[in-house]
Amino acid sequence: MPRALGLVLLFVLTVACAQAASAKSKMFDQGITRVELIDVLSAFGMTVKDSTTKESDPWLSATTPKGTEFYVNMYDCAGTGADNRRCSNLQFLAQWELGKNAGLDRANAYNQKFVFGRAYLSKDGKMFMFDYSVNIKDGVTSENLKRHVDNWLRVLDDVRAMLKV
């Protein structure tokens, strides 16, 4: 086979593979709506509810398949309504009442040991807080967003195991 024909075939195969890969993954290039995020989280077997009471402050409440309740606060949003307000910063947040296994020492131990997520006490000192932020300002594929959600679930399990909750 002539070299030029081989290069053309290689190019065609590369383009076809790229198109097939992009067909599997949706691109959220202007942020994500609450409806879209509910779909992503629900695909993980979570129960998810749009808990937004003020359009300028959208958020979801969710429960993992293991029964852990958490919230997703949505920031840097533009547009209106659950179907059209696109947000480019997400904060996954879980919290537990302080107990013998949940205090400042445990928060510091988590933050020193792990890279993903942030453990801290609430302003009033009554709750152990754990959050995980995701910036999608410049866009994110659905596959990458699913990896973030999967990582959130794994680090959430790490924190629960550490706190024995």
Per-residue 3-state assignment (H helix, E strand, C coil) for 17-78:
HHHHHHHHCCEEECEECHHHHHHHHHCCCCEEEECCCCCCCCEEEEECCCCCEEEEEEEEEE
Domains of the chain by start residue, with CATH = 28-163 (3.30.1460.10)
- Distance between alpha carbon 117 and the CA centroid of its chain, in Å? 11
Predicted pLDDT of residue 2: 61
Predicted pLDDT of residue 1: 54
Type of residue found at 63? T
Q: Which residues does the chain have with pLDDT short of 70?
A: 1-24
Predicted pLDDT of residue 4: 52
- Tell me the per-residue pLDDT of 72-92, one tens digit each, with 9 for 90 and over: 999 999 999 889 999 999 999
140 φ/ψ sector (left φ>0, alpha ψ -120 to 50, else beta): beta
Q: What is the pTM of this model?
A: 0.82
Predicted pLDDT of residue 29: 83
